[in-house]
Amino acid sequence: MGVGKMFEKTFKIAVLGDHATGKTSLLRRLVYGEFDAEYLPTTKPEAFEREYRFRNGVVRLVLWDVPGSLEEVDENLYGAKAGLLLYDVCRESSLRSVRRWYELLSKFIRDKSHIWIVGNKIDLESSRKVEAEKVKEKLRDINFNYFEISAKTGKNVEILFKSILRSLIELQLEEVKMRLRD
Ligand code: G3D
Ligand code: MG
């Protein structure tokens, strides 16, 4: 039986943002398909994995839930190919922090098309303090992808990760093309 060559690729992704923006909730939603309001706050970095299977292979995302302050997280970002920066749409201060998180992430991720700024908790529409327009206005000098989600209901979570997956696969294709050119 003829078996085509399989591909297998693992990408590391860093998930950052202020405390309680929903980093752990998002990753639990993505990996376990659930939202649990009762679990404990994250105290140390933790990896979540999700595999995407294709006819010819598999792409594995290893998502690092990185708690802690700006000063603490550096060492956990090495090797990350993409980054997610969370803020809470109901908490303005968490958006203000995004710029500093972005600067940190930029040291590790050169290609800004691999950075996603993600507004979480859109299920709390009546408590919303930050509109999408405001984010784009405040951060108009930097490049990023933008999504608004709810880890609680799961809204836009799959779409977000499809977008990440697509851009990582494109990155991989670019690298293969470069190698062929050499
Ligand atoms: P963190 O990992 O970024 O620190 P967590 O954040 O995932 O621990 O979430 C912080 C709090 O926000 C938790 O509530 C969690 O249930 C809540 N939360 C996370 N995502 C959402 C969301 O999409 N919608 C709503 N309504 N709440 C969310 P507690 O009460 O435990 O502090
Ligand atoms: Mg956490």
Q: Give the domain CATH number at 147.
A: 3.40.50.300
pLDDT at 71 over 70: no
> What Å distances lie between residue 77 and 16, 47, 53, 56, 87, CA to CA?
10, 12, 26, 29, 19
CB 61 within 8 A of CB 50: yes
For atom 22 of ligand 1, which residue has the closest CA?
121
Q: How confident is the model at residue 70 (pLDDT cuts 50, 70, 90)?
A: low
Task: Quote the CA–CA distance of 24 and 118 in Å, as a whole number.
Answer: 13
Pick from 23-27, 85-89, 156-160, 167-171: least confident: 167-171
Cβ of residue 37 lying under 6 Å from some atom of ligand 1: yes
Specify the pLDDT at position 53: 93
Please report the pLDDT score of residue 75 as a whole number: 73
The answer to whether residue 171 sits within a structural domain is yes
Does any domain span residue 108? yes
Residue 48 lies in a domain: yes
- Please give the residue range of the domain that contains residue 89: 7-181
In our burial notation (b when 16+ CB lie closer than 10 A, e otherwise), range 10-38 reads ebbbbbbbbeebbbbbbbbbbeeeebeee
Dist. CA 51–CA 38, nearest whole Å: 26
pLDDT-derived band at 144 (thresholds 50, 70, 90) equals very high
Tell me if 153 is assigned to some domain.
yes
Domains: count for the chain: 1
C-alpha–C-alpha distance, residues 26 and 154, integer Å: 8
pLDDT in tens, 8-45: 999 999 999 999 999 999 999 999 999 998 877 888 88
**Strand-pair category, 7-17 with 80-88:** parallel
Instruction: Name the DSSP class of 154.
Output: -
What's the predicted TM-score (pTM) here? 0.93
**In this structure, is residue 2 part of a structural domain?**
no
Quick one: which of 56, 108, 54 has its CA closest to 81? 108
**Does 138 map to a domain?**
yes
Indicate whether residue 22 lines ligand 1 (CB < 6 A): yes
Among 16, 25, 34, 121, the mutation site with the greatest number of ligand 1 atoms within 8 A of its Cβ is: 25
The reply to whether 86 falls in a domain is yes
Strands of 4-142, DSSP E: 7-17, 46-54, 57-65, 80-88, 115-120
* Domain contains 1: no
Query: Picking from 18-22, 90-94, 153-157, 175-179, which range would have the lowest pLDDT averaged per residue?
Result: 175-179
